Amino acid sequence: MRFLRRWWAQPCNYMRMGKYFQARGVLTAYRIGVGFNCIFFGLAGLTAFLTAVPPSSVVSRTVLVSAVISSFVVGALWVRGPWPSERISTLFVIYADIGTTMALLSYGSIQMSFPVCVLLAATGLYVQVFHSPKLLMAHLLWSAVTVAGMFLLILASPTLDHGLAWSHLIMLLPVMFTTPVFLQSILLNLRVDADDAMLDPLTGLHNRRGLDEALPRFLRGRSEVSVLVIDVDRFKSINDRFGHEGGDLALTLIARRLLVDEVLVARTGGEEFAVVTTVSAEQAISVAEWMRTRLHSPQDSCPLTVSVGVAHSASGEGDGVCTVTNLLRQADWAMYEAKRLGGNQVVVADPVAAYPPVRAGRTGD
């Protein structure tokens, strides 16, 4: 029961999963794969008319033909793309579950169609990867109703092989019900661990790896990119005065104050932070000055000051990771120049002169 409670409570973000696979260049392949599976299911339904016991009634033939045609149409929509929204994806799961059950009940021999209930496990696999435990549970409940209903129909018929039905039921139980829960639990745990590997455990910000991971989406369609490197002045004195716990509190305070709209923030070192934004060079200097003053508060038990280096590129398209990596080096150079000049100020890197920094400003507060 403890395992089931943990599985039920595990988080799942459909849109984030889509972006995760898209960033790795495999989402299109998954989309096309789902589409062809729908088409193959349609072809399988079509071959039911070629068997020894095809659908016999008008209703069953109509249902099966409708299922075949809709499978081809839905499959074509998947292949054409784009990847569906969470709402459309949920409707697809409902369509697949109901359609599979109706097609199985429409076949001429329920004894022969009963083991084909395993096709519901294919829909379950899609739900395991992309959707939450809640939707998987709804799918499993529908599958259970389908399996139980068909099994009871077989037992109610004295002419059918009851022993074979029991054999098929025992085969279906682990494949359709037990395994999906365990597999989704494993996937969700791996997903959480993968997300944690992208974050700084103290501040909750991106670490350098997480920054590189987030950059392609953040910079998509942007023509300019600016990078700020922010380092706390005389951080060792904070640790000496308040201990490492006090230093950790100072870093978490900085992280909270840096989290504003339309910027990407990461902790890239001990007391060093990187801020990526898609603004012009002049705006980047204004943002840097605003952040420098925002991070300093006389009401803090130990008021902080920071040194800020700024670098800018007019071309944020292409390989955003390489662009930002180069800008980080330039901004880091400028930040150290700000420290050399006494700290608590903003210095702008000059990429034309191999990073010699240009002093942008300083206040006496």
Distance CA 110, CA 159 (A): 12
Locate all alpha helices (DSSP H) within 156-313, ordered by sequence: 162-173, 179-196, 208-219, 235-258, 281-294
Q: How far apart are CA 46 and CA 186, in angstroms?
A: 36
Determine contact, residues 274/268, Cβ cutoff 8 Å: yes
Render each residue's pLDDT in the chain as its tens digit; 365 residues. Answer: 677 777 777 777 788 788 778 877 899 999 999 999 999 999 999 998 888 888 888 999 999 999 999 999 999 999 998 999 999 999 999 999 999 999 999 988 999 999 999 999 999 999 988 998 899 999 999 999 999 999 999 999 999 999 999 999 999 998 888 888 788 877 777 766 666 678 888 888 999 888 888 888 788 878 789 999 999 998 888 877 888 788 888 899 999 999 888 899 999 988 999 999 999 889 999 999 999 999 988 887 778 899 999 999 886 555 678 888 899 999 999 999 999 999 999 999 976 555 555 555 554 44
pLDDT for residue 149 = 96
Joined together, the tokens standing for residue 257 give: 């104050």
| pLDDT for the residue 315 | 67
DSSP-derived secondary structure letter, 178:
I
* Single pTM value for the model: 0.62
Distances from the Cα of 115 to the Cαs of 112, 170, 176, in angstroms?
7, 10, 11
**CB proximity list for 306: less than 8 A, separation 6 or greater:** 230, 231, 232, 233, 254, 291, 292, 295, 296, 343, 344
**Token pair in block for residue 359:** 């002093």
Q: Which of 165, 1, 140, 23 is nearest to 83 (CA)?
A: 23
Residue burial 302-333, b: 16+ Cβ < 10 Å; e: rest: eebbbbbbbbbbeebeeebeebbeebbbbbbb
- Confidence at residue 156, expressed as pLDDT on a 0 to 100 scale: 95
Supply the pLDDT for residue 52.
82
Question: 358 has which bridge partners?
Answer: 348
Please report the pLDDT score of residue 319 as a whole number. 64
Q: What pLDDT shows up at residue 365?
A: 44
pLDDT of residue 64: 92
> Do residues 309 and 229 lie in contact, with contact meaning Cβ atoms separated by under 8 Å?
yes
- In this predicted structure, what is the pLDDT of residue 7? 72
Q: Residue 10 and residue 184: Cα distance in Å, rounded?
A: 10
Q: Alpha-carbon distance 113 to 54, whole Å?
A: 11
